[in-house]
Amino acid sequence: MSVRVRMAPSPTGFLHVGGVRTFLFNWLFARQQGGDCLLRIENTDTSREVEEATEQIQESLRWLGIDWDGPTSFQLDRMPAAREYADRLLADDKAYEDEGAIRFRMPDDGVVAWDDAVRGRIEFANENLADPVIVRSDGRPTYNFANPVDDMLDGITHVIRGDDHISNTPTQLNVLHALGAEIPVYAHIPSVLGTDGKKLSKRHGAVGIDAFRADGYYAPALMNFLALLGWSYDDKTTVMSPQELVERFSLERVVSSPATFDYEKLDWLNGVHLRALPVDDYARVLLTWLREQGVDWPEDRVRATAPLVQEKIEKLSQYPDFVRFLFGPVSPDGADPETCRAARQALEPVEPWRAEGIEAALRAFADATGRKPRDAFQPVRLAVTGSKVSPGLFESLELLGKEESLARLAAAGG
């Protein structure tokens, strides 16, 4: 039987990382098994907000690299079918009317149980389960009815979702049994916690995928990081491409204990992925991010800076401040005027204006003044970049150009 899973977000706000991690596990499992991954929007109305949120959800998933099979479906479209199944349960005395609503009749004895692919055997005594409302008095199916009906109609074979849904499973299983449906495999994956030990949620520390994109994270690196929140390939492999994740993913390696969202690890992993890119690809990624942020710096100069910054920054958002001196004026505050004047005289004869010649002239200048290169170069760096931290000084001066470099040293020299 072919594997078939679903991602089922509700369009109630931004798509935060906890939910995306769950979607990623569904996607990795389906792709690893050669099966289908569906996208179902669990909506109950057709407002403009829902439409906008739905677009945001799909765009976030696409950016991260998660795709889906077939058209996006909407729970709202299945409401008539859900009502028909509720009527069938009424006719079979497996449900009853209660003040205009319909309640499902839970079994009075025995247990409802399943072998969870992550947590093992889980059982609930039926006598402790109240009869749930499955259709509200206004005719709308409730989540615990619409969800399993949708899974049944979609032929879902594996339900991979957060462990906060464990309490929903007994009701949904009993509904599926009553409808004579095939029972999917359930896999309840661990919660994602913040570093304070509290669960990520829309109200507590959860950040939307859009925020990570804007902050300069590289999508394959973020996918790599999210995959490691509750799963591992082995005890030593950390850095993996999307293709490697697909090839290696298995539910057997998903753990039941909560995972911690560690920004330091994410930043490190992002830097590793960015540094591994061929420089032309790195420049393309950098330019795409800059354009998304509304930064319209000349493409040729951005590409020229790529080799200088690739080894030095972990996130693309660090790039603008690192190279801003190449795209606009700077303040040379703190640069020693005397050193700047002398450095300008040492650099003036350099032709052609290339990093090698610039380096030779500045090192000779440092030797002539009896100073360590670091001490001699720092005022020059401040004068031309406006910062104590920058890409390689000699390469920076080359990119800035001779005329502008000497002009900035002159301005700092008073």
Give the end of a domain, one of 189, 214, 241.
189
Domain-located, residue 403:
yes
Q: What is the pLDDT of residues 35-93, one digit of tens each?
A: 999 999 987 655 555 778 888 899 999 999 999 999 999 888 889 999 999 999 999 99
Same domain, 49 and 123: no
Is residue 329's pLDDT more than 80? yes
Domain containing residue 40: 4-71+192-269
Lowest mean pLDDT among 7-16, 150-159, 256-265, 400-409: 7-16
Same domain, 44 and 62: yes
Lowest mean pLDDT among 23-32, 46-55, 89-98, 125-134: 46-55
Asked if the peptide bond before residue 352 counts as cis, ω within 30 degrees of 0, the response is yes
Same domain, 26 and 160: no
Domain-located, residue 331:
no
Same domain, 185 and 202: no
Same domain, 185 and 120: yes
Domain-located, residue 350:
yes
Q: Give the pLDDT of residue 332.
A: 83
Same domain, 181 and 202: no
Cα(107)–Cα(111) distance, integer angstroms: 9
Is residue 414's pLDDT more than 90? no
Same domain, 202 and 251: yes
Give the end of a domain, one of 189, 223, 247.
189
Give the end of a domain, one of 269, 290, 312.
269
Domain-located, residue 330:
no
Same domain, 196 and 292: no
* Domain of residue 306, CATH code: 1.10.8
Q: Give the pLDDT of residue 388.
A: 86
Assess contact for 145 and 79: CB atoms under 8 A.
Answer: no
Assess contact for 103 and 131: CB atoms under 8 A.
Answer: yes
Domain-located, residue 241:
yes
Domain-located, residue 332:
no
Q: Give the pLDDT of residue 202.
A: 55
Domain-located, residue 293:
yes
Domain count, the chain: 4
Q: Give residue 200's pLDDT band: very low, low, confident or very high (50, 70, 90).
A: confident
Q: Give the pLDDT of residue 205.
A: 55
Domain-located, residue 238:
yes
Same domain, 156 and 240: no
Same domain, 133 and 34: no
Same domain, 65 and 213: yes
Q: Give the pLDDT of residue 26.
A: 98
Q: What is the pLDDT of residues 219-237, one digit of tens each?
A: 999 999 999 999 999 989 9
Q: Give the pLDDT of residue 56.
A: 86
* Domain of residue 370, CATH code: 1.10.10.350
Instruction: For residue 130, give Cα distances in angstroms to 29, 108, 144, 168, 307.
Output: 34, 10, 13, 12, 64
* Domain of residue 239, CATH code: 3.40.50.620
Is residue 199's pLDDT more than 80? no
Assess contact for 55 and 273: CB atoms under 8 A.
Answer: no
Q: What are phi and psi of 42, to 5 degrees?
A: -90, 75
160: enclosing H helix or E strand: strand 158-162
User: If you write DSSP's letter for every residue of 19-56 in order, what string do you get?
Assistant: HHHHHHHHHHHHHHHT-EEEEEE--S---HHHHHHHHH
Same domain, 292 and 344: no
